[in-house]
Amino acid sequence: MKGACSEGAEGSVAVGGGPFASTGLAVSRPPPPHNPESHQRNFTATACPHPNPQRSSSEVMSSVITAAIGAPAALARIFLSPIFSGPLLFSITFYPDAVRSAIGFVADKLLPHQLATTFLHYASPLLLSSSTTVTVLQAAVVLGVLRRANQMLNTMASNSWRFGPAPGWDWPNEIAVVTGGSSGIGKGIVQRLSALGVRVVVLDVQKPPADLSVNPRVSFYRCDVTSSQSVAAAAAAIRSDIGQPSILVNNAGIANPMPILQTQEAFLRKIMGVNLMSMWFTTQQFLPDMIKQDKGHVMTMASIASFVALPTAADYSATKAGALAFHESLTSELKHQYKAPNVLTSIVHPHFVRTPLLEGISARLEKAGVQLLTSELIAEEAVELIKSRRGGQLVIPGSVAAVSGIRGWPTWLQELVRDTVGKTTAGL
């Protein structure tokens, strides 16, 4: 039986499992090394043509989240930065005349002459002499220091309470496996890891593009990630041909926006297999050696939908919420069950991403003021986290990171966000 292909929400392609793909494993031996095909192996019964792109409701998140959370969060980060508030407080306290002169210079350059004169005569002295201004800046400095301390504790907590980076990494001697690495975010991760000198293995049903095929540090294994047998066969070949991977990026994903009452069982089983169950299959193959060596990194590609369930994307949102649960359980097991504190775990939650899935509606999103991220940006930040030799949770852009705590918000505020998102996504 042939496998059914679908475009991934992260720009990757994965094959449908269960009743939609055979478990037969067609293994072809690689040609000579100088041939680009020498980096390609086949572990699925059929290659699937690239499907027509479909938009993902997870990526059509709503500009309201960005506007309502992103802009205030960005301003708060600036104001609460001790680098900004500290020198300003010091200057107003000890050098008010210098601050007044600087304000006058800026106002004269940016404002009309009459308005600048009025501002300098009334507003500037009031701001500089007000005890409220000093109090607010003092509070900003204290909160900024606490915020920095909180960030440091977050980093340490995500890395088994280790202050520095994990030891023992040497990029030219590392092997990474990236599922769904032939396109989109996965392709960008493959390119950046190989540029570091890492040997990268792509598991996908879609043949990689020419620029990856000719890369001597990139190998391709055609694999149905929804089949444990297919993944096991590919893993055995990787260990035999290349070695034991120390990095696993679970990136493959699919989406097909559909109301709950119209979702077919066939697709429901497929999306659960690609987006969620595949993480168990790949991790079960590659994690044991990481535990044995007490060195490795398992990265999970999730979504903002991990936190905010979307209308017409209950299945996709469920898989991304499941991906977050998988990441959290894996992190805890590595620390407390397997005693492998140097095996890192990380999870990435992208917001709007410009991929083929948004073709046809990207213009409308941008017209509505939505700024689309690029798959290159997501890949760059993901690989930077790997390079840091630290684990953690990465929300992109960081300005919407506050949405990760939505479950702790008052119910009325949660519903306001969901209602706004629902109305926006329903019209796209």
DSSP state of 251: -
CA dihedral 312, 54, 276, 4 (to 10 degrees): 120
Catalytic residue among 207, 292, 320, 335: 320
Q: Which residue has the tokens 């690239």?
A: 50
Q: How far apart are CA 403 and CA 418, in angstroms?
A: 11
φ, ψ for residue 176 (rounded to 5)?
-115, 145
Q: How far apart are CA 239 and CA 221, in angstroms?
A: 12
φ, ψ for residue 374 (rounded to 5)?
-105, 155
Residue ranges with strand state E in 280-421:
296-301, 343-350, 353-354, 373-374, 392-396
Q: What angle do CA 256, 262, 268 make, to 5 degrees?
A: 55
Query: Mapping DSSP to helix (H, G, I), strand (E, B) and coil, where does residue 373 land?
Result: strand
Go through the chain and tell me how many residues it has: 428
Q: How far apart are CA 160 and CA 246, in angstroms?
A: 18
Active site residue 221: no
Catalytic residue among 316, 335, 367, 387: 316
Query: Mapping DSSP to helix (H, G, I), strand (E, B) and coil, where does residue 40 land?
Result: strand
Q: How far apart are CA 202 and CA 215, in angstroms?
A: 12
Query: Mapping DSSP to helix (H, G, I), strand (E, B) and coil, where does residue 183 land?
Result: coil
Q: How far apart are CA 80 and CA 87, in angstroms?
A: 12
CB-count exposure of residue 11 (10 Å: 0-12, 13-18, 19+):
buried
Q: 336, 349, 223, 348: which is closest to 286 by C-alpha?
A: 223
Q: How far apart are CA 252 and CA 61, in angstroms?
A: 20
Active site residues: 316, 320
